[in-house]
Structure 1
Amino acid sequence: MMDSSTYKQYNVHGFNSRQHLEHYLSDKPDMAFEVDILKFPIENFAKTFAEGHITGDVLVDISVGSMIYQLYAACEFFKHIIVLKINDQCVMELKRWLDTRTGAFNWEHVTKLHAEIGGNCDQLQDKEGKVRSAIPHVVICDLEKENMTDPIVLPPADCIISYGLLDSICKDQDDYIRYLRKFSGFLKPGGHFILVGAINMTYYTVGKDKFCAFTYDEDFVRKALAGEGFVIEDCQVQKRTAVSELCDYKAFIFIAAHKEK
């Protein structure tokens, strides 16, 4: 087994964002994570936004890699979605899809899944177009700057989605709370925070490289959010079903919360 001291760190080394998509989000027959990483989040995003109380002008997404499907449900409820990425490769991969360029990752299987779960299969062709039209900007951010998007100042957001990024950039509990505080700084008072992450994961693999992950449990993330002034509205946990050595999470967690005014 590889010594964990040789694991890479996403925010230091980056990873091949296309390989990340192929490993964890593709429609390949041997893709082991359909239930945990596709169906579970899609079901909860669809349910959360369908309730109708998370809506507004601006949603900020700050998630790991070049994922886009976490925005499928959200695009119906926000005028503008601003996507933040911490490295150029993820921006390039995402823009390839946004610009419908040749060789872009094919999200058709996820679009169909979202339509089936949301009960709107007749809107298949419209869904990806709606997501694209809702995203005016993909912005590179520097996690260590006081204003992470400097020199751009973002408008206050009604909602933030963060999927997997805190798992990938944090080394310890202090890191997690510090970044959580920075992310929540984009929110309006009373704004919503939707957080998706992997519980008790120590590593994940992209290509030939292993990356370290911050290991935490449900109790920790609940307390971290409460400590930053969030009230949790919904918390769902999906125990691991995947059989794969690509990563070692024990469960996935989905939390929807709002920040007290």
Structure 2
Amino acid sequence: MYSSGPKLYHVHNCDTRQILEDYFSGNQEMVFEEDFLKFPIRNCVTTFKLGHIKGDILIDLSISSMIHHLYAACEFFKHIIVLKVNDRCILELKRWVDTRTGAFHWGHVTKLHAEIDEKSYEFQDKEGKVRSAMQHVVKCNLEKENMTEPIDLPPADCIISAWLLDVICKDKDDYIKYLRKFLKLLKPGGHLILVGSLEVTYFKIHKEKFHCFTYDEKFVREVLVGEGFKIDNCNVSRRTVESDLIDHKGVIFIAAHKE
């Protein structure tokens, strides 16, 4: 599979730390602050502030070891369970949770979140709240019926998936197949939040191209309605910067609940 051409995120060796550096860091040369940091943070803050997405358990299935989309969620859920497809992501994330030497620095996101949420007085203890909620980081196998076998997870009140479906799916059938697997972890009537890049075909790590599934807003809406969801909120932001690291045309944030 993909012996030539772009690689697959979950199949080929992928430097997940470099994904953080290139797409989600506070480095001066990181050009995607608006698209990949501020846009999802802004939408998460607005969505969770409405107060109807809350509960005991939130399950996160997202690319690399990103956490900035969870800053708003930690105020509304007792437990955040993070599922990762490879060991490097797990090690990276646990290093941050345990405040170990060499952990990725998320201070820029803490500051962004405080500014967007207009709660600068919470700046100092925000990372502690995220760590406290995020005590379970679990390996998952996307090809198994029970992705977390031999562990049976309790059903979630909400599932968030940011950019993972973009990079593991080859086509529309794959998107629906993997989404359905994710949704098996959701309670009846539970909420789903998706973040992704629109009309993207690739992203790069160390100049190597990795495959992305190309889709548009209409496709995501139709898939969710087809799976019995009512869409509560959908926002799209057009690409704000040019870079040969990724060729996305925009970013989508969509929140829905199972009817």
Does structure 2 conserve the Cα–Cα contact (< 8 Å) formed by 1:196 and 1:252?
yes
| Mapped partners of 1:97, 1:11: distance in 2 | 22
- Aligned residue in 1 for 2:132: 133
Task: Detail structure 1 runs of 4+ shifted over 3 Å in the superposition.
Answer: none
| Mapped partners of 2:120, 2:15: distance in 1 | 32
TM-align CA RMSD: 1.2
Q: Percent identity?
A: 65
- Aligned residue in 1 for 2:100: 101
- Aligned residue in 2 for 1:46: 45
Q: Does 1:70 align with 2:69?
A: yes
Deviation at 1:14, TM superposition (A): 3.8
Does structure 2 conserve the Cα–Cα contact (< 8 Å) formed by 1:14 and 1:87?
no
- Aligned residue in 2 for 1:79: 78
Aligned residues: 258
Superposed counterparts of 1:1-261, under 5 Å? 5-260=4-259
| Mapped partners of 2:201, 2:133: distance in 1 | 35
Deviation at 1:42, TM superposition (A): 0.5
Deviation at 1:207, TM superposition (A): 1.7
Structure 1 unmatched ranges of 5 or more = none
TM-score, normalised with respect to structure 1: 0.97
Query: AA paired with 2:73?
Result: A
Write out per-residue CA displacement over residues 15-65 of structure 1, whole angstroms, 9 at most, x where no aligned residue. 111100000011111211011111111000000000100000000000010
SS in 2 for 1:10: coil
SS in 1 for 2:29: coil
Deviation at 1:5, TM superposition (A): 4.2
Change (3 A) 1:166 1:14: farther
Query: AA paired with 2:9?
Result: Y
Change (3 A) 1:4 1:222: farther
Deviation at 1:208, TM superposition (A): 2.9
TM-score, normalised with respect to structure 2: 0.98
Change (3 A) 1:46 1:4: farther
